[in-house]
Structure formats: C-alpha cells, structure tokens
Amino acid sequence: MQLTLEFGGGLELLCESVKIHNVNVDPAEDGGDKLTMKSLLAWVRTNLIKERPEMFMKGDSVRPGVLVLVNDCDWELSGQLDTTLEEKDVVVFISTLHGG
C-alpha cells in the first residue's frame, strides 16, 4: 500500500531529518487487505525511526504530545490506533514538544 508519511515539529530529526517519506507498506502483516494505524506505527518504528524512538512512541501508540493527522484530519476523529488506512493516504505526525 502506497502511503505518504510526513514528520514535523522536530520529529523529522528522528528519521535523518527527512520530512516526507513515500513508502510502501504491506498490509498483509495485518492479516488482510486493511492496514491500521496501529500496525503502521509499528512499521514506522522499525523502518523509519533511526534514533530515540521513545520521542515518537510510548507503548504501542504515539507518545502523548505527538499529533497525528490522516488526510489532514485529526486521528482522534477516526479512531486513533483503529483507524484503517487506504491506498495513497497521507499521514502526518507532528510533535508539540519542541520549541516555544
């Protein structure tokens, strides 16, 4: 599944200062043709985060203070970890924890 992932608010520093990643994630790991945010986060942690993963995740979700938008919509409206992703979705992660 083709997705665009964007890291902002300082999170890009955890993935070699690259803000936008066009990625291909295999939904089969989720046991079907659906990919949930929960498994995307696990994938991101393994494949994109190069340092200090604790700045990005806590438990199996993002660290509190990291905002997530799916297609420019707050993931709190779409079920957070249960949000299902579709082809060409854009997922944005922004840290609120940097800078004043």
> 23: closest CA among 47, 51, 2?
2
Of 24-32, 38-46, 83-91, which segment contacts another protein by CB under 8 A?
83-91
Supply the minimum distance, in Å, between the C-beta of residue 12 and another protein: 9
- Tell me how many residues contact another protein (CB under 8 A): 33
* Candidate residues 22, 31, 46, 52; the one interacting with another protein per rule CB under 8 A: 52
What does the alpha-carbon distance between residue 38 and residue 100 come to, in Å, rounded to a whole number? 30
Ramachandran bin of 33, using left for φ above 0, alpha for ψ from -120 to 50, beta for the remaining angles: alpha
Binding test (CB under 8 A) with another protein, winner from 1, 4, 9, 45: 9
- Decide: is 83 part of the binding site for another protein (CB under 8 A): yes
By CB under 8 A, name the binding residues for another protein: 8-10, 13, 52, 55, 63-65, 67, 69-74, 76-80, 82-84, 86, 92, 94-100
